[in-house]
Chains A and B, each alone.
Chain A
Amino acid sequence: MADAEHFDKLKQSIIDQDEDQVLAAVNAALDDGVEAKAIIDQGLLPGLNVIGEQFECEDIFLPELMQAALAFQSAMVILEPKIKEQGAEGEKKGKIVLGTVKGDLHSIGKNILKLLYETSGFEVWDLGIDVDLFQFVDKAKEVDADIIAMSALLTTTLVGQKDVIEALRDQGARDKFKVIIGGGATTKEWADTIGADGWAATAYEAVTLSTKLVS
């Protein structure tokens, strides 16, 4: 089978969100000598791009997005050791530290964003919900993040986003990271007020914004 045919099958298997089909397509491509990095860049990621677009257009929803992401992650378990063996490092768009701020227990918006980031080629450290401000700062330093992305749904938790930026300034680290915010309670005005580098109304917009910020 020609490489192009493998790439089409890989892409379609992701679009179909079928983990078994994805793994079969990955193994078939490897058996035919297709490089692991090419499998990702020319097969799986284009499939994930389609999934992202379908999600944005409401042709599919969070469960389908998650199925596709889980299938992708299963494929990566096979492909990552091969990439290392071949000495070809996977290229990531950027490193993101993500979480819902202190006091806020809402997770769905943040989870959607995590999936969209991963399916768009970012490396993500998801700190979860109710995240202490210094966890954002410490993790960003530890992994040398490009972006800190914070979500807040409640008006009473917005201040947690401001606190992280303040802590970064206090530690002289504000310029080391781009900081973006989102979530139901946030606005562009709030982002400007606290000195964030950007605000996104939706998860899809956050990925577009992040891509711009790291390019």
Chain B
Amino acid sequence: MIDLIEVFDRAETGPLTSETDYYMKRYVPKLTEVIARHKVKWDKETIINADDTLTDAVFEAAVDLIAEAGAYCPETNRVMQFTRDEIVVACEQAPKATTFGEGRERNVMRGRRPDTTDDRPWVHVGGGIYTTDEGVFVDTVEKMASYNIVDSVSVPSILHLRGKDSRVRSPQEILSACKTVRLAREGIRRSGRAGMPIINGISAASQPASMFAASYPDFGLRPSDGFLIDFLSEMVVGYEALQKVAFYNSISANIGSTSTPLFGGYAGGAEGVAVTATAYMIMGNLVFRGSYHYNAPLHSKLHLSSTKPLIWAIAMSNAAIGRNMQYPMVNLPYLGGGSGTKQYHYEMACYMLAVVTSGGNVFSGHPAMAVQSDSLVPDDHKFHAEIGLAASKLTRAQAEPIAQKLFPLFGDKLKDPDKGLTFQEVYDMRTKRIVNADYQKAMDEVREELAGMGLEVPVS
């Protein structure tokens, strides 16, 4: 595989072009071309594709897209170009397993193949976009880490300092990022599982300086945690991302390549998102030297990922990578319904059935449209992890009819989702036990409904 310095050089030596021309003369026409060339087509009904001719066509289209469109570096206004051979070698040499954590919690996340029903996928819970009050932050992390089925956590963001919001790139943001990781590690220690990895490093850091500062070992993060580096906009590889690549490769840390292709944006519809998401996972290894991938396609207007075409596209990208690379991946679901609502659970079940049977690992999801401060309710995430583990016993063909039954239960609500609950509304703040009977009832009823549909979800 081409070495890292050579990758950086591609941002200095590729053809000069404006961002608009990159999109309109390279990315968009090439994406259209490769979709047509490989006959990638969504039938507008299927949620979980099980046709592997189509799956492999998506993978081939993604390889062609990278080879023909390249990536764009806005700082140098140059196209980073890679030959087809370089891309194929990167696919062949991508990691198929990544080790996270320390001591008893040291464990391996593996790249999975679609329809694997006899393994135990990696179980990751939590979310980074919630801005959580310091008063409940440690309790929230402790509770998530204490669930015995959980292998790793994403921790929420603390963006307040002395009661005020931290501004992007400010010194306060650096302090907020440091505080977030210190308190997160404390929460994990309190759970009795001190070695458990945090794999969304670093949620409160929007800039490299904050990420590097919060990576200082005294604050509690280690190379065996996971550090996220994202593509800023479709196929854009900015200097900030490359700075993080340089640093985290220099300390041999686990890197989570991260991408959020937008449905309705430059990627277009379902087919474009499936191909672009797959391309990002390949580039995650080729450009970022990722150890695992955070796959997070999103609807450009609804800001969630649980529409039918998006679930199809996300599952498709998992299957394409699962069949052809086995790069370890988790999928970050953004859901419409608020915490504790039935809508939230239905969306998560549908999403989990799609991605886990297609080769993804288990990752609980965010309430996105109904998000509010302190809305990370750990028992939601435990339930969703249990759903993911139940889904891992099914093939895509077995999961599809259940997903089809679930979708009508939430599809019409996505534009105006049910509002949810906060940590404080669910738990007794002294014992941290569930005291909201309606919350528990909704979860129990959904568990029963899922069993009725053919998805038994045992309580862990």
Interface residues of A (CB under 8 A from B): 58, 61-64, 66-67, 70, 102-109, 112, 154-160, 184, 201-203
Query: Which are the 3 A-B pairs with shortest beta-carbon distances?
Result: A103-B168, A156-B168, A63-B28
Q: Is the CB of A112 within 8 A of B300?
A: yes
Shortest CB-to-CB span from A56 to chain B, Å, is 9
Q: Which residues of A contact B206 (CB under 8 A)?
A: 103, 154, 156
Which one of B103-111, B215-223, B258-266 is at the interface? B258-266
Q: Is the CB of B167 within 8 A of A108?
A: no
Q: Is the CB of A58 within 8 A of B268?
A: no
In angstroms, Cα B301 to Cα A164, docked, is 25
Shortest CB-to-CB span from B44 to chain A, Å, is 12
Shortest CB-to-CB span from A160 to chain B, Å, is 8
Shortest CB-to-CB span from B285 to chain A, Å, is 24
Shortest CB-to-CB span from A110 to chain B, Å, is 11
Q: Is B32 an interface residue (CB 8 A)?
A: yes
In angstroms, Cα B28 to Cα A105, docked, is 21
In addition to A107-B233, A156-B166, A156-B168, 13 A-B residue pairs with Cβ atoms within 8 Å of each other are A58-B269, A61-B264, A62-B266, A66-B28, A67-B24, A103-B167, A105-B240, A106-B233, A108-B262, A108-B265, A155-B131, A156-B165, A158-B165
Q: Which residues of A contact B28 (CB under 8 A)?
A: 63, 66
Q: Which residues of A contact B301 (CB under 8 A)?
A: 201-203
Q: Which residues of A contact B233 (CB under 8 A)?
A: 106-108
When C-beta atoms are compared, the residue in chain A nearest to B373 turns out to be: A155
In angstroms, Cα B32 to Cα A155, docked, is 34
Shortest CB-to-CB span from B453 to chain A, Å, is 28
Q: Is B95 an interface residue (CB 8 A)?
A: no
Interface core residue of A58, A67, A109, A157 (most chain B CB under 10 Å): A58
When C-beta atoms are compared, the residue in chain B nearest to A153 turns out to be: B303
Q: Is the CB of B232 within 8 A of A61?
A: no
**Can you list 20 A-B pairs with a CB-CB distance of less than 8 A?**
A61-B264, A61-B265, A61-B267, A62-B266, A63-B23, A63-B32, A66-B28, A67-B24, A103-B167, A108-B234, A108-B262, A108-B266, A155-B159, A155-B165, A156-B159, A156-B168, A157-B168, A160-B167, A184-B303, A202-B301
Secondary structure dominating the interface of B: loop
Q: Is B120 an interface residue (CB 8 A)?
A: no
Q: Which residues of B contact A62 (CB under 8 A)?
A: 264-266, 268, 300
Q: Is the CB of B173 within 8 A of A156?
A: yes
Q: Which B residues from 367 to 400 make CB contacts under 8 A with A?
A: none
Q: Is B37 an interface residue (CB 8 A)?
A: no
Q: Is the CB of A63 within 8 A of B266?
A: yes
Shortest CB-to-CB span from B53 to chain A, Å, is 26
In angstroms, Cα B303 to Cα A66, docked, is 21
Q: Is the CB of A159 within 8 A of B24?
A: no
Q: Which residues of B contact A155 (CB under 8 A)?
A: 131, 157, 159, 165
Q: Is the CB of A103 within 8 A of B265?
A: no
When C-beta atoms are compared, the residue in chain B nearest to A59 turns out to be: B269
Q: Is B411 an interface residue (CB 8 A)?
A: no
Q: Which residues of A contact B14 (CB under 8 A)?
A: none
When C-beta atoms are compared, the residue in chain B nearest to A205 turns out to be: B301
In angstroms, Cα B23 to Cα A201, docked, is 25
Q: Which residues of B contact A67 (CB under 8 A)?
A: 24
Shortest CB-to-CB span from A109 to chain B, Å, is 7
Q: Is B84 an interface residue (CB 8 A)?
A: no
Q: Which residues of A contact B131 (CB under 8 A)?
A: 155
In angstroms, Cα B131 to Cα A67, docked, is 39
Q: Is the CB of A63 within 8 A of B300?
A: no
Shortest CB-to-CB span from B204 to chain A, Å, is 8
Q: Which B residues from 211 to 245 make CB contacts under 8 A with A?
A: 232-234, 238, 240
Q: Is the CB of A104 within 8 A of B264?
A: no
In angstroms, Cα B301 to Cα A58, docked, is 10
Q: Pick the residue among A63, A64, A104 that contacts B168 (CB under 8 A).
A: A104
Q: Is B169 an interface residue (CB 8 A)?
A: yes
Q: Is the CB of A66 within 8 A of B24?
A: yes
In angstroms, Cα B169 to Cα A122, docked, is 33
In angstroms, Cα B262 to Cα A84, docked, is 41
In angstroms, Cα B272 to Cα A58, docked, is 14
In angstroms, Cα B169 to Cα A103, docked, is 7
Q: Is the CB of B269 within 8 A of A61?
A: yes
In angstroms, Cα B266 to Cα A157, docked, is 24
Q: Is the CB of B166 within 8 A of A70?
A: no
In angstroms, Cα B128 to Cα A29, docked, is 56
Shortest CB-to-CB span from B157 to chain A, Å, is 8
Interface 0/1 of B151-174, CB less than 8 Å to A: 000000101000001111100010
In angstroms, Cα B168 to Cα A64, docked, is 33
Q: Is the CB of B165 within 8 A of A112?
A: no
In angstroms, Cα B272 to Cα A106, docked, is 20
Q: Which residues of B contact A158 (CB under 8 A)?
A: 165
Shortest CB-to-CB span from A85 to chain B, Å, is 30
Q: Which residues of A contact B168 (CB under 8 A)?
A: 102-104, 154, 156-157
Q: Pick the residue among A63, A105, A159 that contacts B167 (CB under 8 A).
A: A159
Interface 0/1 of B11-33, CB less than 8 Å to A: 00000000000011000100110
Q: Which residues of A contact B234 (CB under 8 A)?
A: 108
Q: Is the CB of B300 within 8 A of A70?
A: no
In angstroms, Cα B233 to Cα A103, docked, is 15
In angstroms, Cα B165 to Cα A61, docked, is 35
Q: Which residues of A contact B272 (CB under 8 A)?
A: 61
Q: Which residues of A contact B268 (CB under 8 A)?
A: 61-64
In angstroms, Cα B172 to Cα A89, docked, is 51
Q: Pick the residue among A107, A159, A201 that contacts B165 (CB under 8 A).
A: A159
Q: Which residues of B contact A202 (CB under 8 A)?
A: 301
In angstroms, Cα B28 to Cα A61, docked, is 11
In angstroms, Cα B206 to Cα A159, docked, is 15
Shortest CB-to-CB span from A206 to chain B, Å, is 11
Interface core residue of A62, A109, A156, A159 (most chain B CB under 10 Å): A156
